[in-house]
Amino acid sequence: MVSQKVDFDKELRDINEQTGASIAHLRSLGLKLPDTILDMSDWLTIKRYAEKYNLSQQVVVNWIGRGVIPGDCVQVVPELNDMKLVKDRIYK
């Protein structure tokens, strides 16, 4: 078995460059893409957030309404029937 060191930072940079090039190519072909692409790895649905942090969904909704969860930590996805996503971190 041969082991070799992998430079993960370089690999991630390469992947990001390739992704950017792919998106630019698709746009050049006329495909309409949003200006920003949301990295979903840091976001949870209200239900999943409540389950993860042992809260009720109503508490999470109330926190959003009262600003306990800041507006920049909530995303609304119109393509998914205005589903709200919450950034995965502890509030309060």
Tell me what the pLDDT averaged over the chain comes to. 90
Count of domains for the chain = 1
For residue 2, is it within any domain? no
Domain that holds residue 74: 40-87
Confidence grade of residue 26 (pLDDT, cut at 50, 70, 90)? confident
Beta carbons within 8 Å of 91's beta carbon, 6+ residues apart = 63, 68, 69, 73
Residue 27 belongs to some domain of the structure: no
Model pTM score? 0.61
- Predicted confidence at residue 50, as pLDDT, reads 97
- Give a yes or no: residue 65 inside a domain: yes
CA distances from 83 to 7, 62, 77 (A): 37, 16, 5
Instruction: Evaluate whether residue 80 is within a structural domain.
Output: yes
Q: What is the pLDDT of residues 52-79, one digit of tens each?
A: 999 999 999 999 999 999 999 999 988 8
Do residues 40 and 87 make contact, with C-beta atoms less than 8 angstroms apart? no
Does a structural domain hold residue 62? Answer: yes
**1 falls within a domain:** no
